[in-house]
Amino acid sequence: MRTATIFMVACMVPVTLLLGSRLTPSPSPLLPSSDEWRAFQGSWSAVGRRHTLPIDAGRAAAVVQLSGAVVLTGGTGASFGFQGEAIGFDDAEGLSIGRAVWTDARGDRVFSVLKGEPLQTGRRIVGTIAGGTGAYADVTGEYELTWQYVVSGENDVVQGRSADLSGRFRRSVKQP
Burial letters 128-139, b for 16+ CB under 10 A, else e: ebeebeebbeeb
Q: Return the SS3 of 12.
A: helix
- Identify the CATH number of the domain defined by range 26-171: 2.40.160
- pLDDT of the residue at 56: 87
pLDDT interval class at 118 (50, 70, 90): confident
Per-residue CA distances from 94 to 39, 41, 60, 100, 129 (Å): 29, 26, 12, 19, 22
Say what the alpha-carbon torsion angle 85, 156, 145, 71 is, to the nearest 10 degrees.
Answer: 40
Query: pTM higher than 0.75, yes or no?
Result: yes
Torsion 80-42-146-68 (CA) sign:
negative
Q: What is the pLDDT of residues 122-172, one digit of tens each?
A: 889 999 999 999 999 999 999 999 988 788 888 889 899 998 999 999 987
Q: Return the SS3 of 120.
A: coil
Report the candidate in 105, 112, 108 with the shortest Cα–Cα distance to residue 145. 112
Q: What is the pLDDT of residues 19-76, one digit of tens each?
A: 343 344 444 445 555 678 999 999 999 999 999 999 988 888 999 999 999 999 986 6
Return d(Cα 80, Cα 158) in angstroms, integer: 25
Residue 138 — φ and ψ, nearest 5°? Answer: -115, 30
Return d(Cα 129, Cα 40) in angstroms, integer: 13
Return d(Cα 118, Cα 94) in angstroms, integer: 7
Torsion 105-102-110-78 (CA) sign:
positive
